[in-house]
Structure 1
Amino acid sequence: MSLRTPFLLACALLLAACSPVTQENFAKLKPGMERAEVEKLLGKPSECAGALGMSSCTWGEKNRFISVQFAGDQVMMFSGKGLK
């Protein structure tokens, strides 16, 4: 086995550990927060969809994510899955 494989695995683990999708950051979310505050905390969302002033954005991936619903630019509700 070359040294490349363990190096790539270590890099992947470090990147995963640096993810902003954590229970600690989830606990910092509050209804009424501005969208800019959420993006400062969690970074750019993985995906967003919406219409008529309402939007839903997700940070993370299928089994580990934070989802935030906005009315205008303010947090209305949020949920998470697989957070540690």
Structure 2
Amino acid sequence: MSLRFALLSFCLLLAACDGGLNQENYSRLKPGMLRSEVEQMLGKPAECSGALGFSSCTWGDQRTFISIQFGGDKVLMFSGQGLR
């Protein structure tokens, strides 16, 4: 029984370590969301760049990622790849 509990706990811990980078959170993204709402859901981005009030931020790596384009502080558009 104890081994089963330990295994279940480990699996739940692994699922929580994705930093929010999953299909469920991707489907919650909407144009117009505030950047603070996105960061609360996904965490801090791995990379951001931008100019003139527009920015593009990426969460994840080359295989599994969510990329979001912001105008000011609001989501304009987004894309994702390799999400489960």
TM-score tier after normalising by the smaller chain length:
0.7 to 0.9
Q: CA RMSD in A?
A: 1.3
Aligned-partner residue type, residue 68 of structure 1: I
Which residue in 1 is equivalent to 2:77?
Answer: 77
Q: TM-score, normalised by structure 2?
A: 0.80
Gapped regions of structure 2 (runs ≥ 5):
1-9
Q: State how many pairs are aligned.
A: 71
Structure 1 gap ranges (5+): 1-9
Task: For 1:69 and 1:43, locate their aligned partners in 2 and report how far apart those are by CA, in whole Å.
Answer: 16
Q: Aligned AA for 2:21? A: V
TM-score, with length taken from structure 1: 0.80
Q: Distance in 1 between matches of 2:23 and 2:62?
A: 16
Deviating beyond 3 angstroms after TM superposition, the runs of 4 or more aligned structure 1 residues are none
- The offset of 1:48, in angstroms, is 0.3
